[in-house]
Amino acid sequence: MNTTKDLEKKYKPLVIILSIVIPTVVAVLFSVKIDGIDLHFLPPIYATINGITAVLLIAAVIMIKKGKRDAHQKLMTLAVVCSVLFLVMYVAYHMTSSSTIYGDVNGDGVRDEIETAQVGISTTVYFFILISHILLSLVVLPLVMMTYLKGWANKLEAHRKWAKNTFPIWLYVAISGVVVYLMISPFY
């Protein structure tokens, strides 16, 4: 019979490996371009999934504060599933579509001086949110997996400690994903 210590010891190497492999595979897939498949409909779907993830995270915290551990676990599992769905759709979209340029009002693939003036300081805001979203999404991946593993292994005190750091980062990544979509969507 597996003890909680055995569960964490058994799966921690997998978490470490996935924390390296997933971002590497995503980076490699971004260099792959597949023509002839139109997935232009995905951005609003994966942005909505990011929004759902944020709601699930908040609901999960409320449930655990109310002592409803089973509901918390289910909501967190759904949040993980949503994050995986988001990542799959995000990568699929970027493998089949050209990058959208923020501020490219006329859609010609270039943001010229006039367009730059039209979007103004919002470009700086957009890139700040986008870059922080991307960097923190890399950080949150191992945090989520380790936090989830500690909860699954019933190491509740360690789980709580990890969750205090993981939750705000994951929530920021989910919300900022929606904000990035809302800011770039006029330029699709």
Per residue in 103-159, pLDDT (tens digit) is 999 999 999 999 999 999 999 999 999 999 999 999 999 999 999 999 999 999 999
Angle at 29 between CA 127 and CA 11, to 5 degrees: 95
Residue pair 133/177 in contact (Cβ under 8 Å)? The answer is: yes
Q: Nearest 5°: phi and psi at 61?
A: -65, -45
Q: What is the CATH number of domain 4-187?
A: 1.20.120
Q: 126 in helix, strand or coil?
A: helix
Confidence at residue 5, expressed as pLDDT on a 0 to 100 scale:
61
Which DSSP helix (H) or strand (E) runs through 73? helix 69-96
Q: How many CA atoms lie within 13 A of 10 on its CB side?
A: 9
Confidence at residue 2, expressed as pLDDT on a 0 to 100 scale:
53
**pLDDT band at residue 8 under the 50/70/90 scheme:** confident
Which sequence spans correspond to the domains of the chain? 4-187
Q: What is the pTM of this model?
A: 0.91
State the residue for tokens 């055995």: 6
Helix axis angle for 4-30 and 69-96, nearest 10°, is 20
Q: Which of 127, 49, 123, 135 is nearest to 92 (CA)?
A: 49
The type of residue at 169 is I
Confidence at residue 6, expressed as pLDDT on a 0 to 100 scale:
81
**pLDDT band at residue 40 under the 50/70/90 scheme:** very high
